[in-house]
Structure 1
């Protein structure tokens, strides 16, 4: 079974996705122009490890005769797996039709015609999504419409780019170029 995410082929796929221009892009294909960072992958791995323990305990509880308790425990394990998958899919995705920001609990999609500008700014940003702020860079989106404030898409201190400043610069440049091509 080939595992391209473990080999150098994964880097080639990411670079290929970054080099696609808006005109060449498939309208229905959403791409993340960067790979998930080690903090996001590590958090997902820990959640999956916890889910395996919870599912194993659900099996033991069910075999011991506690069907309702085993079902509740199995439901918690499935919830942990869903949370891990959602956490790994979180980020900014682009296609020729627009820009999609996938969060832990919700997803927002904007067509390129609804985007006024995308730019990188220097300002205090949240460290790993926690309340503590540190100085960093943020990729902000200014949507069309009155009274709508700018939205932060990516920061240099989030789970994808912490200790990877060059990856943040590449991802920001790719997303900015897609926005500039569309406008």
Structure 2
């Protein structure tokens, strides 16, 4: 069974004849693999959740079942947060482009996309307030105001930190999706 957060089934090859190497273009998919920072943090959260689940069993056996249930609920919240962390990123389909955040998901149909391009600009380091100089893949909407420029991916995000070639492949893939579907 394929895991939904590992949707880049194979590496994007520049020599391929097909810019969009997927058969089913109507299915939402992330055209790149999650980065090691994202996967590592999610793995640590799942490890923490296993300890909390073990504590819930011990508390339920030695204390009251209500206290064990509360700790079990905390473990479920940690598991849900780690799975949401793995789902974060940019997803594409024939219907549009979807940016999945931890709390908010934005979907932009292709007919509202003016451009998807790579720009040199200050970017956040691992999503923290500190900014460094890097590249960002931005989405420009057709409305045209300065607030409609959204950074989709950055070279210093959790998926591409210290992996510039992976960022370039992901940016090329997203630009290919945009070029294919913006025109109709």
Pairwise CA distance, 1:65: 2.6
Per-residue deviation at 1:114?
Answer: 1.0
1:13 to 9, 14, 23: 9
TM-score (norm 1): 0.87
In the alignment, what sits opposite 1:141? 139
Secondary structure of residue in 1 paired with 2:148: coil
| Superposition deviation, residue 182 in structure 1 | 1.7
2:136–2:154 contact (8 Å) kept in structure 1: yes
Q: Stretches of 4+ moved more than 4 A in 1?
A: 16-25
| Distance (whole Å) between structure 2 residues aligned to residue 24 and residue 68 of structure 1 | 48
Going from structure 1 to structure 2, the CA distance change for 1:178 and 1:161 (only over 3 Å counts) comes to same
Partner of residue 172, structure 1: 171
Taking structure 2 as the reference length, the TM-score comes to 0.87
SS at match of 2:140: strand
How far apart in 1 are the matches of 2:22 and 2:33?
A: 21
| Structure 1 spans left out of the alignment, 5+ residues | 5-9
1:97-144 residue CA offsets vs partner (Å, 9 max, x unmatched)? 111111111211111001111110001100000111111000000112
1:14, CA displacement in angstroms? 2.7
Which of 99, 103, 106 is the equivalent residue of 1:105? Answer: 103
**In 2, Cα distance between the equivalents of 1:46 and 1:23?**
33
CA distance in 1, matches of 2:24, 2:75: 36
Q: CA RMSD in A?
A: 2.6
- When structure 1 is superposed on structure 2, of 138-147 and 51-60 the one drifting more is 138-147
Count of aligned pairs between the two proteins? 177
Structure 1 residue 27, shift from structure 2 partner? 4.2
- State whether residues 8 and 32 of structure 2, in contact with CA within 8 Å, keep that contact through their aligned partners in structure 1: no
Question: Within 5 A, what are the aligned runs for 1:1-183?
Answer: 13-15=9-11, 21=19, 25-145=23-143, 147=145, 148-183=147-182
For 1:31, what is the secondary structure of its paired residue? Answer: coil
Equivalent-residue separation in structure 2 for 1:99 and 1:167 (angstroms): 19
- Consecutive unaligned residues in structure 2, runs of 5 or more: none
Q: Is the 8 A contact 2:7 2:30 kept in 1?
A: no
